[in-house]
A = this chain, B = another copy of it.
Amino acid sequence: MSTGPTVGEMGEFALIARINQGRTQGPAVRLGPGDDAAVLAAARGHFAVSTDMLIEDRHFRRDWSSPEDIGRKAIAQNAADIYAMGAEPTGYVIGVGIPPDTPAEAVLRLADGFWDEAARAGGSVAGGDIVRSPHWVISVTAFGDPLDDAYIPRSGARAGGTVAIAGSPGWSAAGYAVLTAPEVAGNAETQRALAAHRAPRPPYDLVRSAIRDGRAPGALTDISDGLLADLGHLADASGVAIDVDFAALADPALRRCADALEGDARQWILTGGEDHVFAGVWPPGSAPPSGWTAIGSIEAGQGVTVGGVRYEGPTGWEAFAGTESAKSDRSR
């Protein structure tokens, strides 16, 4: 398809110049690409930092996702980690590994995806490294300033509190099911599922507005591994138990999608992960803020249950499980 140069033909320095051409850095970036290091502001004298590595055919497939979507997903999952601390992104640095026969255009489209999602999430791409690799590898490190005085850890949940989520879990897993189904009739639900799988759109604004309105949760996390798995991490960190009310998570559109695919909407919602919805905990007597849906309660004890019953089977993603296919073998 592409008739332009490969990255090997273009060369490292011309490629980097082209990637950075015409970009406008955000206000926190004091020194952008071009020196030994970038310099970012940390107005409060400290900053949040998170890093995630995405490997081709493990975390994304190039025959399933456009370069733009791969770039959006890489930023989204890191930006969601920053918001999950009660912070907002100020910048990113990104390592990219690609084969030398990759069309330069594909890398420019990947970078467009980085910048596109950064425009949604906040912050700009302040620097990076581009190297030769047999497979695509993308490593994003995101930085953030707290939205209020303090960061919001996973460890702040107390018995009697309410668990609420922002966003709709299960759609990324549904998209995976569409991509692996032998035959699917496309409709509004399958299109939504595909889009969610290819490039999640975490509801950053609902974290920002909750905190800005003085309604910050006492504990907060994003759901990357799976709702039950990540609620389990939050429960462990806080020394509490969580009981999930599945009725509050019912999603008729997702259910229609599951029926069409002979899939299991309940499993997608509870264990799918990758949607990067947010889960927060509000203290007793404090209803979750606008846009958040109460889905469970904090109790004394440990572990996570659904309607009082422990979930059978894997509760989420595990880095070394499964086959080489992208997020493919969920029969862990």
Contact = CB atoms under 8 A, between A and B. Distances in A.
Nearest to A154: B35
A220 B37 CA distance: 11
Count of this chain's copies in the oligomeric assembly: 2
A41 interface: yes
Contacts of A45: 41-45
A36 B81 contact: yes
A58 B38 CA distance: 25
A132 B319 contact: yes
A295 interface: no
A189 interface: no
Nearest to A142: B37
Contacts of A7: 320
Interface stretch (A90-98, A173-181, A242-250): A90-98
Interface in A11-59: 11-13, 30-31, 34-55, 57-59
B11 A144 contact: no
A97 B95 CA distance: 13
Nearest to A221: B36
A135 interface: yes
A139 B47 contact: no
Nearest to A44: B45
A319 B38 CA distance: 20
Interface residues of A, number: 73
Contacts of A87: 37
A222 interface: yes
B131 A59 contact: yes
Contact of A320 (B11, B40, B81, B93): B11
A319 B154 contact: no
B221 A52 contact: no
Most buried by B among A34, A51, A153: A51
B31 A128 contact: no
A163 interface: no
B221 A58 contact: no
Contacts of A199: none
A40 B46 contact: yes
A222 B82 CA distance: 31
A134 B324 contact: yes
Closest 6 CB pairs of A and B: A53-B95, A139-B139, A42-B42, A12-B319, A36-B84, A37-B50
